[in-house]
Chain A
Amino acid sequence: NAGVTQTPKFQVLKTGQSMTLQCAQDMNHNSMYWYRQDPGMGLRLIYYSASEGTTDKGEVPNGYNVSRLNKREFSLRLESAAPSQTSVYFCASIFTNRANNYGYTFGSGTRLTVV
């Protein structure tokens, strides 16, 4: 049981390049989330998917797009990377609408540097 798997773990992009961050969970969770964490800061929500087939904006969605490919996979795409998007990106998943859910499970993060 791997939990939440993120790829890649590290990435360096040039300004203007595009890339997709991948996230997959094997816990049959219905909701998935993308967060970013800047140095010394808390996590901020970029986008989330409450269930397969739905996506919604979070606190800081500008410059990003997402795809809930199926129940397991939720990808985050940077169409034209900017230095301000240098950050650590975390994917998370959870069962929602369950009284006894045991909280979010987070991936180990993708460290992205845009130069």
Chain B
Amino acid sequence: DAKTTQPPSMDCAEGRAANLPCNHSTISGNEYVYWYRQIHSQGPQYIIHGLKNNETNEMASLIITEDRKSSTLILPHATLRDTAVYYCIVRANNAGNMLTFGGGTRLMVKP
């Protein structure tokens, strides 16, 4: 799996958009970009994933640059419950490919 680089921590005001960046400059053509988050003491939670196109679901939006070397997870209206560690992972959808978790970004949403 390609290595990803994320800032270790970020703050965001409640109600504002949280934009979490991720660099994955060595991503391969068949690798997807996945985002997970882990709220304290819980199992990681899937948020969103994409290959080339921007994606949106009920939780977030994923913006992938045209060269696919970086991406941004957007939480449009952050709430206190969005405080968590956010992991950006790149992975090909093959049977033997596991998720490789890096350090992630610790997002603190403040009132």
* Residue from B43, B49, B95, B100 within 8 A of A106 (CB atoms): B43
Q: Return the CB mask of A34-62 against B: 1 if under 8 Å, else 0.
A: 01000000111100101100001010000
Interface range for A: 20 to 34
A99 at the interface (CB under 8 A from B): yes
Task: Identify which of B13-21, B61-69, B74-82, B101-109 touches chain A.
Answer: B101-109
Asked if A97 and B41 make an inter-chain contact with CB atoms under 8 angstroms apart, the answer reads no
Using Cβ atoms and an 8 Å threshold, which residues of chain B touch A4? 43
A101 at the interface (CB under 8 A from B): yes
A74 at the interface (CB under 8 A from B): no
Asked if A42 and B93 make an inter-chain contact with CB atoms under 8 angstroms apart, the answer reads no
Using Cβ atoms and an 8 Å threshold, which residues of chain A touch B49? 102-103
Report how far A25 CA is from B43 CA in the complex, Å: 14
B26 at the interface (CB under 8 A from A): no
A104 at the interface (CB under 8 A from B): yes
Using Cβ atoms and an 8 Å threshold, which residues of chain A touch B2? none
* Residue from B42, B46, B101, B102 within 8 A of A108 (CB atoms): B42
Asked if B95 and A43 make an inter-chain contact with CB atoms under 8 angstroms apart, the answer reads no
List CB contacts (< 8 Å) of B49-87 with chain A. Answer: 49, 87
Asked if A90 and B93 make an inter-chain contact with CB atoms under 8 angstroms apart, the answer reads no
Report how far A100 CA is from B47 CA in the complex, Å: 14
* Residue from A35, A42, A51, A97 within 8 A of B104 (CB atoms): A42
Asked if A109 and B41 make an inter-chain contact with CB atoms under 8 angstroms apart, the answer reads yes
Asked if B42 and A109 make an inter-chain contact with CB atoms under 8 angstroms apart, the answer reads yes
Using Cβ atoms and an 8 Å threshold, which residues of chain B touch A103? 34, 36, 46, 49
* Residue of chain A at shortest CB distance from B104: A42
The interface centre, meaning the residue of B42, B94, B96, B99 with most chain A CB atoms within 10 A of its CB, is: B99
List CB contacts (< 8 Å) of A78-114 with chain B. Answer: 88, 90, 92, 96-99, 101-109
Interface on B for A, CB 8 Å cutoff? 34, 36, 41-46, 49, 87, 93-104
| Besides A42-B104, A90-B44, A104-B36, 4 new A-B residue pairs in contact (Cβ under 8 A), listed by A number | A97-B94, A104-B99, A107-B43, A109-B43
